Amino acid sequence: MVLSNRRDVRALEVAERHGLEHRVLDRSSFADGPARDAAIGEAFRAARCDLVLLAGYDQVLRPTYFAAFDGPTINIHPSLLPRHGGSGMMGMAVHASVLAAKDAQSGASIHLVTQDLDAGPLLAQARVPVLPGDDPETLAQRVLAVEHRLLVDTLADLADQAAEGWADLASASMTDRS
């Protein structure tokens, strides 16, 4: 199942082309964020999803999501968590923060989503050097290329683990794919 909070995302087109269930849960359709998050969780629960992936989702999931869906949810984040994670660390703000901190490297992290923002157990990371002359946009382009590869590799690893059950997901050792 593919859910989106925006109508103009490519994932919806791909889902349509492949006959997958998909829909948009627009913010304006709900009284507030907690109601929307409960609906998102309920949609995944009703569809019997084994795993939820957040990719490009720029909202914080509230407790109502976790009450409705108790399966594993993973997120991809454009930094080497725990650095440059947490409140306000989305999109170009992450890359600007990396540059302002004068970090020698950045990268991407995949982590288990918990109610503590960007603080769930790390599943995988890939590193990207910060180059002289980088600005947030050039760094973002290099990190995005690594994110895509990291995501595919991590999902393949998780699919292998799924045969054994999800119980050990939170205790899985982190993979560094630099």
Active site residues per annotation: 77
Query: Which two structure tokens, joined as six digits, stand for 165?
Result: 């059950």
Distance of CA 47 to the CA centre of its chain: 20
| Helix, strand, or coil (residue 129) | strand
CA distances from 21 to 18, 101, 124 (A): 9, 42, 28
| Cross-strand partners of 53 | 74
| Short-list 172, 155, 178, 177, CA closest to 55 | 155
Distant-in-sequence, close-in-space partners of 106: CB < 8 Å, separation ≥ 6 = 78, 79, 80, 84, 95, 98, 127, 128, 130, 139, 143
